[in-house]
Amino acid sequence: MPYSVIVFASGRGSNFAALAQAARDGALPIRLDALLSDKPDAPALTLARDAGIAAIALAPRDFPDRASFDRAIFARAAEFAPDLIVLAGYLRVIDAGVVEAWRGRIINIHPSLLPKYPGLHTHRRVLAAGDAEHGASVHFVTAELDGGPVIAQIHLAVVPGDTPESLAARLLPLEHRLLVATVDALARGRVALGADGIELDGRRLPAPLRLGADGRLHGAGAAVG
């Protein structure tokens, strides 16, 4: 059976587009089944429709509270029986009970080297702190905001003259590569969430995998992909 993936997005959907392109090119062994959004006018929905992928939007204002909305949108996701849900620019904090029901089957991509800078405005915060390095992380989603176990990261040097906008522009294509490589590792069964953290081929990883210049994830003396 193909490895089924659903993406949640609130905005333009560039990470969704990267996954869809990799799947079309045969570089990613997945079937993208749906794009779900909390924004009925999200450009990501148009990308999905143009690709022939189910595009579903629910508006939070139509529900009495956050938990009700989360239960409803994840119930729609469950109709596709996905192996994995990818939060890719999905700008909502999800109810803890809903998250727990999907433990080990839901990941998020975040533009910082977690645990540094959870939440918003990461590029601005990196520059304000004077950091020499920035990056992105893919992690399993838990009830803690951007606090779940980190699967993989990519690093980016901060250069003189960088602005939040220039950092964001340089990091975005690296985010795409990181997300594709991480979903590939999950789809192939190489990486999973174990009882004590991230596991690679059944063995606990002492640190997150790192995406190298060769486009492969590296860690614990092994290359993935």
Q: CATH no. for residue 1?
A: 3.40.50.170
Q: What's the domain range around 196?
A: 110-138+152-225
The β-bridge partners of 57 are 37
Tell whether 98 and 187 lie within a shared domain. no
Whether residue 146 lies inside any domain: the answer is no
Domains identified in the chain, total number: 2
206 domain-assigned: yes
Reported as a single tens digit per residue, the pLDDT across 8-24 is 999 999 999 999 999 99
Q: Is residue 77 part of a domain?
A: yes
d(CA 52, CA 43): 15
**Between 220 and 192, whose confidence is greater?**
192
At 117-146, the pLDDT tens digits run 999 999 999 999 999 999 999 999 998 999
175 in a domain, yes or no? Answer: yes
Exposed e or buried b per residue across 36-57, where buried means at least 16 C-beta atoms within 10 angstroms of its C-beta: bbbbeebbbbebbeebebebbb
Q: Could you tell me which residues come within 8 angstroms of residue 4 by beta carbon, excluding any fewer than 6 positions away? A: 30, 31, 33, 80, 81, 82, 83, 84
122 and 223: one domain?
yes
Q: Which pTM does this prediction carry? A: 0.96
User: Starting at the edge strand that comes first in sequence, how are the strands of the sheet with 203-204 ordered?
Assistant: 191-194, 197-200, 203-204
Catalytic residue (choose from 110, 134, 139, 176): 110
CA 124, CA 25: separation in Å to the nearest integer? 35
Residue 185 lies in a domain: yes
Mean pLDDT of 54-65: 97
Answer yes or no: 110 catalytic. Answer: yes
Residue 19 lies in a domain: yes
